[in-house]
């Protein structure tokens, strides 16, 4: 079964990296360490892909941890039962669309937060001082839905628009199996567009951004091999379509980062917690991955736990603030 699970991974990643900063012939695809050309591309377009980021060994470790978390033998991932011993690895993986905060339970995913390729890119496109606050492990078996148009700052609001995703491809990601699609340059408006329920079974329970001045002809697929990393700005409009391959998975580990200079007003304090006011609201369940944390004196704390994201297959009632939504028939 392991062979089947690794079937669509492209693991030819031990070849020497291209010279620093050089890019492939496709626009937006670079090797690391990156140079000014890549930074300029990112500023203009709101995304870039690093093709030579993870080694085969790093990928294999994350694959094996993905399986461990999906089997959930110790029940630490909320929202999915421990897999019975008789359940195949493939079946265990197929149960889960995505696990939020896997770095809380996996050392290799925690290590992936400050992978040198990520530090290289983020210290050039965000700030010398960078912190991480979130990870998501998409497993996306054949037949699973995508995520409708959205901007990540809808969900993780920074105060200086510095939110950046690092989308680590664990399998080859193609149009067929549900790669990322982006609208280049859409981050530049600096506007968070309205969101509404889409009712479309192609997508999971998250809302869809609407009212922006782009159409489908403006979107481009970001197809990458396993081990590549796609970086994208928190204001960039992006989505993914369902995995339409007949078999296999489209796995990706997505980490989120921001400047350490900005507070992160992500969670309201509970009634009995001291509160200095909105301007000082700061989520401190963070990992500093580069430079200095100007707010280190505030300490850090554990606020998030690994849990499964609803795929929509069992309905979306508990998502979007408990708002009841249903799919169009
Ligand atoms: O990987 C996917 O299918 C969607 C990921 C995404 O939209 C995100 O990380 O914001």
- Tens-place pLDDT, residues 87-117: 999 999 999 999 999 999 999 999 999 999 9
Asked whether residue 176 is assigned to any structural domain, the reply reads yes
Residue 278 — pLDDT band, cuts 50, 70, 90? confident
Q: What is the dihedral of CA 266, 179, 64, 53, to 10 degrees?
A: -80
Q: Residue 316 domain-assigned?
A: no
Q: Is residue 75 situated within a structural domain?
A: yes
User: What would the two tokens of residue 283 be?
Assistant: 């989520």
Contact 70, 95 (CB under 8 A): yes
Kindly give the pairing relationship between strand 195-196 and strand 307-308. unpaired
In a domain, 314, yes or no: no
pLDDT band, very low/low/confident/very high, at 319 (cuts 50, 70, 90): low
**pLDDT tens string 118-135:** 999 999 999 999 999 999
* Number of domains comprising the chain: 1
Q: What is the pTM of this model?
A: 0.93
CA distances for 100 relative to 21, 31, 265, 305, 323, angstroms: 32, 28, 19, 8, 20
Considering the domain boundaries, does residue 327 fall inside one?
Answer: no
The answer to the question of residue 100 being in a domain is yes
CA dihedral (241, 242, 244, 248) positive or negative: positive
Give the integer Cα–Cα distance in Å for 176 and 179: 8
Strands 29-30 and 47-50: parallel
**CB neighbours of residue 18 within 10 Å:** 14
> CB of 140 within 8 A of CB of 250?
yes
Cα separation, 165 vs 88, in Å, equals 32
Strand 252-259, strand 98-100: pairing: unpaired
- Where in the sequence is the domain holding 215, given as residue range(s)? 19-308
The preferred substitution site among 137, 169, 240 for testing ligand 1, maximizing ligand atoms within 8 Å of CB, is 240
Kindly state whether residue 329 falls inside one of the protein's structural domains: no
| CATH code for the domain of 179 | 2.60.120.620
216-243 tens-digit pLDDT? 999 999 999 999 999 999 999 999 999 9
Exposure string over 260-274, b if 16+ CB within 10 A, otherwise e: bbbbbbbeeeeeeee
Phi, psi dihedrals of residue 40, rounded to the nearest 5°: -65, -40
Distance in angstroms (rounded) separating the CA atoms of residues 14 and 11: 8
Q: At what angle do helices 36-45 and 116-125 cross, to 10 degrees?
A: 70
Please tell me the number of Cα atoms within 13 Å of 20 on its side-chain side.
Answer: 7
H/E stretch holding 39 reads helix 36-45
What rounded mean pLDDT belongs to the chain?
91
What residues are in contact with ligand 1 under a 6 Å CB criterion? 136, 138, 146-147, 152, 165, 178, 238, 240, 252, 254
From the alpha carbon of 238, which atom of ligand 1 is closest?
A: 7
DSSP code of residue 249: B
Q: Which of 47, 207, 254, 256 to mutate to test the pocket of ligand 1 (most atoms within 8 A of CB)?
A: 254
Q: What are the structure tokens assigned to 101, written together?
A: 């905060």
Question: pLDDT band at residue 329, thresholds of 50, 70 and 90?
Answer: confident
262 in a structural domain: yes
Query: Phi/psi zone of residue 240: left (φ > 0), alpha (ψ -120 to 50 degrees), beta?
Result: beta
For 28-74, write each residue's pLDDT tens digit. Answer: 999 999 999 999 999 999 999 999 899 999 999 999 999 999 999 99
Task: Give the pLDDT confidence score for residue 277 in this predicted structure.
Answer: 86
Residue pair 229/138 in contact (Cβ under 8 Å)? The answer is no
């Amino acid at each position: 079964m392991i062979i089947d699970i690794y079937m669509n991974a492209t693991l030819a990643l031990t070849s020497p990296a291209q010279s620093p900063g050089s890019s492939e012939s496709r626009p937006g695809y670079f090797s690391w360490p990156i140079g000014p050309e890549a930074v300029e591309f990112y500023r203009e377009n709101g995304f870039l892909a690093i093709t030579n980021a993870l080694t085969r060994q790093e990928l294999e470790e994350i694959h094996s941890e993905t399986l461990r978390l999906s089997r959930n033998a110790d029940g630490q991932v909320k929202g999915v039962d421990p897999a019975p011993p008789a359940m195949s690895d493939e079946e265990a993986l197929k149960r889960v669309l995505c696990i939020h905060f896997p770095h809380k339970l996996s050392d290799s995913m925690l290590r992936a937060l400050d992978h040198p390729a990520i530090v290289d890119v983020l210290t050039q496109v965000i700030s010398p001082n960078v912190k991480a606050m979130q990870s998501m492990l998409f497993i996306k078996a054949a037949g699973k839905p995508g995520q409708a148009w959205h901007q990540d700052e809808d969900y993780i609001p920074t105060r200086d628009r510095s939110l950046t995703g690092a989308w680590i491809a664990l399998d080859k990601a193609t149009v067929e199996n549900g790669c990322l699609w982006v609208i280049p340059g859409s981050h530049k408006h600096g506007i968070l567009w309205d969101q509404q329920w889409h009712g479309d079974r192609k997508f999971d329970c998250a809302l869809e951004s609407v009212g922006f001045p782009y159409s489908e002809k403006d979107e481009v697929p970001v197809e990458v091999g396993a081990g590549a990393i796609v970086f994208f700005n928190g204001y960039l409009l992006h989505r993914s379509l369902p995995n339409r391959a007949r078999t296999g998975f489209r796995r990706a580990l997505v980490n989120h980062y921001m400047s350490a200079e900005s507070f992160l007003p992500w969670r309201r304090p509970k009634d009995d917690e001291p509160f200095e006011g909105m301007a000082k609201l700061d989520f401190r369940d963070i990992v500093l991955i580069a430079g200095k944390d100007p707010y280190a004196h505030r300490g850090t704390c554990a606020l998030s736990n690994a849990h499964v994201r609803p795929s929509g297959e069992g309905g979306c009632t508990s998502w979007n603030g408990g708002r009841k939504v249903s799919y169009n028939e």
